[in-house]
């Protein structure tokens, strides 16, 4: 009987205690080049759903991971020849904004082949309250990344990236059961290695990206997973 009650409690609370962390980012080593040149992409990407484990009526047992696919977007706009403003979003997760700096190789606008390297930083957060007021939470994150690539010609750019991300979740549960008033708090660190290829034809852009990710979350066993996603966009 106790196990049935605990399972009911888990099902009752789980829909209100989950949040999304990103997988694929589709960031390449080239800046747009010039000033106010941009690129926008819609993506289908791997992501991570973290469900707070409330099976024993507490929030002290870490999270349960699930692999999900989310729609997102990536927007980049040049500030200078070697620096872009970047806005990245994964559906159900945070929007992150930041900059990308390219210390090696020429920009996309220059259409030069050869080695390319960029370094970047993203940060962002949001506050959310579910429609039925079962939980209010804040989710904040920061990401540091480096991306290397070698442009073969005007149309093809293979690339590989390495990133380190940190996310903090803080919430307050508001329900009519024994979870009411509990304040879950979790920190997650993510190491991600990705490899991809960008195809360009005039203003159209198509990317395919795969990767490997390791996630560490408070009171939870570390997990690893593989990523895959694609994006389609245009530049100007």
- 166-216 pLDDT tens trace: 999 998 888 767 888 899 999 999 999 999 999 999 999 999 999 999 999
Query: For residue 12, what pLDDT is reported?
Result: 40
pLDDT of residue 129: 67
- Digit-coded pLDDT (tens) for 16-45: 578 999 999 999 999 999 989 999 999 999
Greater model confidence, 100 or 134: 100
Task: Work out the average pLDDT over 87-92.
Answer: 94
Check pLDDT > 50 for residue 113. yes
Look-up: residue for tokens 């002290």?
60
User: What is the maximal distance between C-alpha atoms in the chain?
Assistant: 69
Domain coverage including residue 37: 2-235
pLDDT of 227 higher than 50: yes
User: Could you give the CA distance from residue 107 to residue 119 in angstroms, rounded to a whole number?
Assistant: 13
pTM check: above 0.85: yes
- pLDDT digits 0-9 by tens, 123-135: 998 877 665 557 7
pLDDT > 70 in the chain, percent? 91
Which stretches does DSSP call E strand in the chain?
18-22, 38-52, 63-80, 83-90, 95-104, 114-129, 135-151, 156-173, 185-201, 204-217, 223-235
Q: Structural domain tally of the chain?
A: 1
Position 178 scores a pLDDT of 83
Give me the CATH number covering residue 13: 2.40.128
């Amino acid at each position: 009987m106790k196990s049935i009650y605990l399972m009911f409690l888990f099902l009752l609370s789980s829909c209100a205690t989950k949040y999304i962390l990103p997988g694929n980012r589709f960031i390449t080593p080239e800046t747009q080049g010039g000033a106010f040149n941009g690129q926008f992409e819609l993506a289908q990407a791997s992501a991570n759903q973290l469900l707070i484990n409330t099976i024993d009526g507490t929030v002290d047992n870490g999270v349960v991971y699930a692999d999900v696919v989310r729609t997102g977007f990536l927007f980049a706009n040049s500030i200078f020849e070697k620096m872009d403003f970047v806005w990245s979003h994964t559906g159900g997760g945070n929007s992150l904004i930041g900059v990308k700096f390219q210390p090696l190789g020429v920009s996309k606008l220059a259409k030069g082949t050869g080695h390319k390297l960029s370094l970047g930083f993203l940060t962002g957060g949001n506050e959310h309250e579910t429609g039925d007021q079962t939980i209010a939470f804040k989710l904040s994150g920061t990401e540091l990344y480096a991306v290397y690539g070698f442009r073969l010609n005007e149309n093809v750019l293979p690339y590989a990236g390495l990133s380190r991300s940190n996310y903090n979740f803080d919430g307050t549960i508001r329900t009519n059961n024994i979870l009411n008033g509990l304040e879950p708090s979790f920190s997650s660190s993510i190491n991600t290695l990705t490899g991809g290829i960008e195809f360009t034809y005039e203003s159209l852009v198509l990317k395919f990206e795969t990767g490997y990710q390791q996630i560490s979350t408070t009171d939870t066993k570390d997990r690893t997973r593989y990523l895959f996603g694609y994006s389609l966009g245009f530049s100007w």
